[in-house]
Amino acid sequence: MMASGKSAPETLAGLVASDANEAVRQVGMVDAQGRTAVHTGALAIAEACDRTGPGFTVQANLMLRAGVCDAMVRAYATSSGDLAERLMATLEAAQEAGGDLRGKQSAALLVVARHPSGRPWEDRLYDLRVEDHPDPLVELRRVLTVARAYRHMNAGDEHVTAGEIDRALEEYRRAEELLPGRSEPIFWHAVTLVSEGMVEEALPLFAKAYELHPAWRELVPRIVAVGLLPDDPGLIDRILAAGR
């Protein structure tokens, strides 16, 4: 209905009016112009609540205590960062305010691009789920950090393809900062340095990557075969010997 031009309030009003079970429904809607609508049926289990604000809605039911929706609104309104970060902070605030009476089990985060590109696999900026975990928001926060790091790595790969090496190196560096104990950002950072003739700078990174994950040595000759490292036996021997 919103895709056909109806506002969020018009859409929700139409759906509620035609729903014989609206008393047990809870839903929030935001349309492309930022107009909001929210509905919490009369039979929603306490503590149930909803709120709206500029371009957002929050909903909750079966909360341990009152105040969860207000905590969510405060967190969303005062947090900084991108949309994923603001949503994550809102979920964490809800839990800190008491969370679900039943306890903790799952969490999810979905953020899509503002304008569709026709490539949905690229338009889903973050699509993260924790299905069954004793502390799902802590795990979701961790997974969000991992996802951010891999977005930087992917951006680095795209810059390499475009010949924008300085920008690629910066993206790889940012990925390493987010995942200091992970070997993959370090390895590809090193590969990119070699492609630019910066061998001496690359060798310590190769050594660190091998220390964290020895199987990277197995990959080196394989990526020579596809042109990601120079076909220079002497150079490849130096790369393979790094850290030994």
pLDDT of residue 5: 95
pLDDT of residue 107: 98
Answer whether 55's CB lies under 8 Å from 31's CB. no
For residue 91, the tally of other CB atoms under 10 A from its CB is: 20
Domains and CATH numbers, the chain: 1-101 (3.60.20.10), 152-241 (1.25.40.10)
Could you tell me which residues come within 8 angstroms of residue 44 by beta carbon, excluding any fewer than 6 positions away?
A: 24, 26, 61
DSSP at 4:
T
pLDDT of residue 93: 98
Q: What's the pLDDT tens digit per position in 140-175? A: 999 999 999 999 999 999 998 899 999 999 999 999
pLDDT of residue 54: 93
Q: What's the pLDDT tens digit per position in 58-84? A: 999 999 999 999 999 999 999 999 999
Residues of the chain where predicted confidence (pLDDT) is lower than 70: none
Answer whether 209's CB lies under 8 Å from 193's CB. no
CA–CA–CA angle 91, 92, 95 (5° rounding): 90
In this prediction the pTM is 0.89
pLDDT of residue 105: 97
